[in-house]
Amino acid sequence: MNKTILDFFDKTVSLYPENVAVGDSKSEITYKLLQEKARVIGSTIAEKDLMKKPVAILMNRNINVTAAMLGVLYSGNFYVVLDCDSPFDRLAKIMDTLTPAAVIYESEFHDIVNNFQVECHKMEFGEIMKKQVKDELLDKVRSQILSTDPAYSIFTSGSTGSPKGALLTHQNVISYIDWFITCFKIDEKIVFGSQTPLYFSMSVTDMFASFFTGSAYQMIPKEFFTFPIKLIEFMNKRRINTIYWVPSALGIAAKLDLFKYCKPEYLEKVLFAGEVMPLKYLNYWKKHFPHLMYANLFGPTETTDICAYYIVDRDFLDTQTLPIGIACSNCHLFVVDENGNEVPRGAEGELFAAGPFIAKGYYKNKEKTAEVFVQNPLQNDYPEIVYKTGDLVRQNENGEFEYIGRKDFQIKHMGYRIETGEIEAAFGAVEGIELAICIYDSEDDKLILAYEGKEEIINTLRSTAEKSLPEYMRPHDYKAFDIFPKNANGKIDRKKLKNNILN
């Protein structure tokens, strides 16, 4: 019985031991060798007598980090991949929330790990690799893992200023990947060119699809997206035939007219998610590669990765918007109004998701979990927890969902889901600021920090952003106000404030 991610991975190893499992900029590793590394890590953690506990991973995006992720699963625990480039303050907030039982790290991050205030086992990757596999111990651990146990947590931006960790199970991943590999015909001949970091939910899709089928997971170096000729060279050298990128990454080719100079030679499938796809980008790709499969995937971290998809089957003008499509198999989507009633086709409402893709909730955050993981408002006859996505959608005449926007102040920027409250909270302690509000300019894809205070402190604000926020959450512009506009209730009129800034 295949009840865990490891059952599928081990079966893949037995079928395709010499297939390339993972590649990075420097090397590649076979499934057999990846399994051996992971089992060493799993044995080392299991010797600490830990079970169903969080294990943080602070490592660069390379072959070894995938071994660490699998190793944590072999130990009967669940992993959290940390962003190496994130400011220390944000990493510390995640660690404080997580209170992990252990942290696996590369030697270059030794000082960062030692500065965390949480008590846990500190395990340097190089030292772990000197250990031996303990087969009996791993077998004992394996017998105790349930399909409903957590496999990993991904921390997304939180409205209170603290990141929140969506908790996903083995069952979530198995149900989701079963849909993905069936829908997109993923097998051992597929070579993924992965663009997304491993602390981002999109990475779940191509990595686990590889581990379930024997396909190759090639991690494209981030810097190659700044030097796109190198990007294409890497894709051709590794024979990449399937990509799953954020639209802004695909847009690089269109902006530079890249395919005038070089082209990927092996590409068959182009999948994208994480933000709205500008049709001018897609049409550029379709012009040069009309016969490829193109698919728009949509979903939050809380649905494992994706809950709706649209395989592009018709032409669109640059001024139009792609639908997000239909529900994935084994996932139910429905749209309700503010009173919890299902809306008719064509009407706008909030998207709800149900089924085995839905996360357990947020780690150590009962209040936020209760807000969005709720009883199905359309039936009260038995317990059924569904997820309120906060996304506003409607169904078109084809029965496809169309994305309208966020219900709250959460935004999508550079492929990341961001709560503007976390950005605002980062500036709360800056001397000279009374209030700060983050405005998103969707037309120019810019974050603007409006604040009550003097213009002279802008350099202080920029310095604060560099110290407290990852690059994708840092404001592009700063606008000083004597006082923010208020509405009739005495609350800040965000709509008027936005209009004042953008018009």
The domain containing residue 492 runs over which residues?
A: 427-502
- How many domains does the structure of the chain reveal? 3
In 3-state terms, what secondary structure has residue 327?
strand
Residue 393 and residue 436 share a domain: no
Q: Are residues 350 and 434 in the same domain?
A: no
Listing DSSP states for 3-65 in one string gives -SHHHHHHHHHHH-TTSEEEE-SS-EEEHHHHHHHHHHHHHHHHTTT--S-EEEEE--SSHHH
CATH code for the domain in which residue 457 is found: 3.30.300.30
Q: According to the model, what pLDDT value does residue 417 have?
A: 74
Residue 404 has pLDDT above 50, yes or no: yes
The per-residue pLDDT for 488 is 42
pLDDT for 334-349, tens place per residue? 999 989 999 999 999 9
The answer to whether 10 and 212 have CB atoms below 8 angstroms apart is no
Share of the chain above pLDDT 90, in %: 79
Burial-class residue 477 by CB neighbours within 10 Å (0-12, 13-18, 19+).
middle
Alpha-carbon span 428 to 259, nearest angstrom: 46
3-state helix, strand, coil in the chain (%, to 5): 35, 25, 40
For residue 438, tell me if it sits in a domain.
yes
How far, in Å, CA of 102 to CA of 57, rounded?
9
CATH of the domain at 354: 2.30.38.10
Report helix, strand or coil for 152: strand
Give the mean pLDDT of 445-453: 91
What CATH number should be reported for the domain holding residue 126?
A: 3.40.50.980
In whole angstroms, what is the distance from residue 375 CA to residue 357 CA?
A: 16
* Residue 96: inside a domain: yes
294 falls within a domain: no
Parallel, antiparallel or unpaired: strands 373-375 and 385-395: antiparallel
Q: At which of 112, 145, 178 does a domain end?
A: 145
Interval 14-67: pLDDT, tens: 999 999 999 999 999 999 999 999 999 999 999 999 999 999 999 999 999 999
Q: Same domain for 58 and 133?
A: yes
Q: Tell whether 98 is covered by a domain.
A: yes
Flag whether 111 is in a domain.
Answer: yes
Structure tokens that stand for 239 in this block: 């024979």
pTM (two decimals)? 0.86
Q: How far is CA 175 from CA 196, 272, 363, in A?
A: 21, 20, 21
Q: Got the DSSP string for 382-424?
A: S--EEEEEEEEEEE-TTS-EEEEEESSSEEEETTEEEEHHHHH
Residue 489: the pLDDT is 39
The answer to whether position 249 is within a domain reads no
Say whether pLDDT at 490 is over 50. Answer: no
What span, in angstroms and rounded, lies between the C-alpha atoms of 217 and 16?
14
Last residue of a domain, one of 145, 163, 189: 145
**For residue 267, is it within any domain?**
no
pLDDT digits (tens, 9 = 90+) for 350-402: 999 999 999 999 999 999 999 999 999 999 999 999 999 999 899 999 999 99
User: Which two three-digit tokens encode residue 137?
Assistant: 């111990």
pLDDT digits (tens, 9 = 90+) for 62-112: 999 999 999 999 999 999 999 999 999 999 999 999 999 999 999 999 999
The whole-number pLDDT of residue 485 equals 86
Residues 277 and 247: their CA atoms lie apart, in Å, by 5
> Is there a domain that residue 432 lies in?
yes
Q: Is the pLDDT of residue 317 over 90?
A: no
* pLDDT (0 to 100) of residue 346: 94
pLDDT digits (tens, 9 = 90+) for 152-181: 999 987 655 678 999 999 999 999 999 999
HSE value, Cβ hemisphere, 13 Å, CA-based, for 24: 14
Query: 482: exposed, middle or buried (C-beta count within 10 Å: 0-12, 13-18, 19+)?
Result: exposed
Residues 485 and 449 occupy one common structural domain = yes
Say if residue 364 is in the same domain as residue 463.
no
337 and 449 in a single domain? The answer is no
Per-residue confidence at 2, pLDDT binned at 50, 70, 90?
Answer: confident
Q: What is the mean pLDDT of the chain?
A: 93
**Co-location of 42 and 118 in the same domain:** yes
32 and 138 assigned to the same domain: yes
Query: Does 432 have pLDDT greater than 60?
Result: yes
pLDDT in tens, 213-261: 999 999 999 999 989 999 999 999 999 999 999 988 898 898 899 999 9
